[in-house]
Amino acid sequence: MGSTAVMVREEGHQRHYDGWRIITSLVLDGLSSRHTRRAYSQALDEFLIWFHDDPSREFNKAAVQKYRAELETKGLAPASINVRLSAIRRLALEVADNGVMAPELAAGIARGDDRVFSHPKGQPCWSGTQLPERVGLPTLSIAQFSGPFSSTC
Identify whether 49 is part of a domain: yes
Nearest Cα to Cα of residue 95 among 142, 60, 134, 145: 60
| CA–CA dist 113, 33 (Å, integer) | 25
120-141 burial, b at 16+ Cβ within 10 Å, e below that, comes to eeeeebbbbbbeeeeeeeeeee
Identify whether 1 is part of a domain: no
| CA–CA dist 85, 41 (Å, integer) | 12
Based on the fold, state whether residues 54 and 90 are members of the same structural domain.
Answer: yes
| Domains of the chain: total | 2
Beta-bridged to residue 131, according to DSSP, are none
Based on the fold, state whether residues 85 and 140 are members of the same structural domain.
Answer: no
pLDDT averaged per 10 residues, the chain (length 153): 40 50 87 95 93 88 94 95 95 89 89 55 43 42 41 41
| CA–CA dist 79, 17 (Å, integer) | 28
Per-residue confidence (pLDDT) for residue 77, from 0 to 100? 94
CATH of the domain at 13: 1.10.150.130
Based on the fold, state whether residues 88 and 129 are members of the same structural domain.
Answer: no
Based on the fold, state whether residues 122 and 63 are members of the same structural domain.
Answer: no
Per-residue confidence (pLDDT) for residue 99, from 0 to 100? 86
Per-residue confidence (pLDDT) for residue 33, from 0 to 100? 94
Angle formed by the axes of helices 103-110 and 78-97, nearest 10°: 160
Per-residue confidence (pLDDT) for residue 17, from 0 to 100? 54
For residue 74, the enclosing domain spans 7-112
